[in-house]
Structure 1
Amino acid sequence: DNVDNRELLVKVLSRHGYEVVEAASGEEALDLAPRVRPDLVLMDISLEGMDGLEATRRLKAMPGFSRVPVVAITAYAMVGDRERALEAGCDGYIAKPVDVRALPTQVAGYLESPKPD
């Protein structure tokens, strides 16, 4: 996502006690994931280069990441977009503009949900 949107999400989630690591692209996210071992990934769908859906597919295929929740964040609110995100391996979908008041509760919900094997 763009820098301003990422900074807003980082600020909101950090205030609620979450440790946040940013990636500016799908490629960077895939590079960081094995080192950072995130508990949750907020994935913008419309990224430069590799889009968020392809990055999600690749992340979920990496050893140890199939059960890490990935939540799609996108400005696309078209019919079928949610389904495409879920088919790519996303565990949830948040439409932009993100409601920053609701985001911490949404994140907590994804972290608390048990993931099937």
Structure 2
Amino acid sequence: MNRNILLIEDNEQNRYLATFLLEKRGFRIAAAPDGPTGIAAARSRTPDLILLDIQLPLMDGYDVARELRTLPSLRAIPIIAVTSYAMPGDRERCLAAGCNGYIEKPINPETFVNEIERFLS
């Protein structure tokens, strides 16, 4: 069964790499380049999982995660922060905003999809 993932990421190269790796394993990907577009896409698509960059234009990923968690239809959807923020406390801040997981950039192409699949089982 194909799973639907919403990728909220402003960097085109990061979107390409994540999409390539996930589609290669059978996932269907929808992408959004900023927070407001990502929230609208999540509402209309109800994905199985959301991959969320934290450093986004217009609205940062923390605010996006908090907004997504207020929507009843999206409360149970796993949100995984995929971010270059890797200082002490950044992981905890992502989780406190409503994310279920945290993956540091640059992503490891060898392990990225397996990390994502953990949240879908």
TM-score norm. by structure 2 comes to 0.90
Is 1:26 matched up with 2:35?
yes
Alignment partner of 2:108 out of 99, 102, 105: 99
Could you list the runs of 5+ residues in structure 1 that have no partner in the other structure?
A: 113-117
Deviating beyond 4 angstroms after TM superposition, the runs of 4 or more aligned structure 1 residues are none
Point out the structure with the larger strand share. Answer: 2
Pairs within 5 Å for 1:1-117: 1-112=10-121
Q: CA deviation at 1:63?
A: 1.9
Q: Say which SS state the counterpart of residue 21 (structure 1) adopts.
A: strand
For residue 119 of structure 2, what is the amino acid of its counterpart? Y
Identical positions, percent: 39
Could you list the runs of 5+ residues in structure 2 that have no partner in the other structure?
A: 1-9
Deviations 1:30-87 (Å, cap 9, x if unpaired)? 0111211100000000001100110010011112111100000111110000010000
Deviations 1:3-28 (Å, cap 9, x if unpaired)? 01101100110000000100100100
TM-score norm. by structure 1 comes to 0.93
Corresponding residue pairs, total: 112
